[in-house]
């Protein structure tokens, strides 16, 4: 079975400073259609998740450009260039390349 | 405006059944991949099930054989039939639609709480 591992699980950050989260998969996330289906979602306290990044590096509508996704194959990264107060929450990577979808464990970003 | 409204959650005893509904509006329901995702209290997100545009269905191992995802296109409604419920099924259940042409959940409902306890 595929395993998705996020690091760190908790990340104390400083406002205005960058932050980075890693997501590693035990299997390639390249779909048979040639696309790599790795997404990043943010969940603020008390709210449903919100899509930030899809297909590794595509920013979803309305997502600030301080959020950047990168990576390939089995190794991916979400970077926040300058952390803002509203960025507090839990961040999940999610693979949808396989029919059995899976989330990472989540990374809690706290100021 | 896209809306997803889950309902049907509640308190049930172990072994009982429950059917969740997700009423969709603001988009052409039949054209989108739809998902159920759950979150146990204080825990992370867990993918539960997906139904494709053609009606193909997929399940997490933890619910396979007990849960059934379905949809009624005439009612713009997604369902999750949950049988043989266990304490570990206690969670907020979210429905989510995929982004058009992309395998990524771009819009989520507010969720409905299912509690399995004696």
| pLDDT at residue A89 in the model | 96
Inform me whether the C-beta atom of residue A31 falls under 8 Å from chain B C-beta atoms.
Answer: yes
Whether residues A94 and B104 touch (CB distance < 8 A) is answered with: yes
pLDDT tens readout for residues A15-50: 999 999 999 999 999 999 999 999 999 999 999 999
Calpha distance B29→A107 (Å, rounded): 32
Closest Cα in chain B to A101: B47
Q: Is the pLDDT of residue A97 over 90?
A: yes
Let me know: does B61 contact B48? Beta carbons within 8 Å: no
Q: Who among A43, A48, A102 is closest to B47 (CB)? A: A102
Q: Who among B50, B59, B104 is closest to A39 (CB)? A: B104
DSSP string, B25-61: ESS-GGGS-EEEEEE-TTS-EEEEEEE-TT--EEE-T
Whether residues B99 and A60 touch (CB distance < 8 A) is answered with: yes
| pLDDT at residue B77 in the model | 98
CA angle A45, A46, A49 (to 5 degrees): 80
DSSP string, A71-87: EETTEEEEEESS--GGG
Q: Who among B44, B61, B111 is closest to A48 (CB)? A: B111
The CB density around residue A94, as the number of other CB atoms within 10 Å, is 24
Provide mean pLDDT across the span A74-84. 97
| pLDDT at residue B88 in the model | 98
Closest Cα in chain B to A93: B45
| pLDDT at residue A32 in the model | 92
Closest Cα in chain B to A30: B103
| b/e sequence A48-72, b meaning 16+ C-beta within 10 Å | bbbbbbbbbbebbeebeeebbbebe
- Tens of pLDDT along chain B (118 residues)? 999 999 999 999 999 999 999 999 999 999 999 999 999 999 999 999 999 999 999 999 999 999 999 999 999 999 999 999 999 999 999 999 999 988 999 999 999 999 999 9
Residue A64 sits at φ, ψ, to 5 deg, of: -60, 150
| pLDDT at residue A44 in the model | 96
Q: Which residues of A touch B60 (CB under 8 A)?
A: 100
Cis peptide before A109 (omega within 30 of 0): no
Give residue for tokens 């979808």.
A101
């Amino acid at each position: 079975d595929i395993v998705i591992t996020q690091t760190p699980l908790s990340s104390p950050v400083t406002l205005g400073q960058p932050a980075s989260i890693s997501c590693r998969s035990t299997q390639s996330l390249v779909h048979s259609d040639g696309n790599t289906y790795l997404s990043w979602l943010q969940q603020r306290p008390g709210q449903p998740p919100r899509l930030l990044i899809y297909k590794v590096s595509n920013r979803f509508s309305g997502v600030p450009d301080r959020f950047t996704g990168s990576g390939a194959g089995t190794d991916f990264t979400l970077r926040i260039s300058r952390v803002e107060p509203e960025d507090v929450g839990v961040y999940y990577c999610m693979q949808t390349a396989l029919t059995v979808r899976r989330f990472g464990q989540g990374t809690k970003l706290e100021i | 405006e896209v809306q997803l409204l889950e309902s049907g959650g509640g308190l049930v005893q172990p072994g009982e059944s429950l059917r969740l509904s997700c009423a969709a509006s603001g988009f052409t329901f039949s054209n989108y991949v739809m998902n159920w995702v759950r979150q146990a209290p204080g825990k992370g997100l867990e993918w539960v099930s997906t139904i494709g545009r053609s009606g193909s269905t997929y399940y997490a191992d933890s619910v396979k054989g007990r849960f059934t995802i379905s949809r009624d296109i005439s009612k713009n409604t997604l369902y999750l039939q949950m049988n043989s419920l266990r304490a570990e099924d206690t969670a907020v259940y979210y429905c989510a639609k995929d982004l058009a042409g992309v395998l990524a959940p771009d819009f989520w409902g507010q969720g409905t709480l299912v509690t399995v306890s004696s």
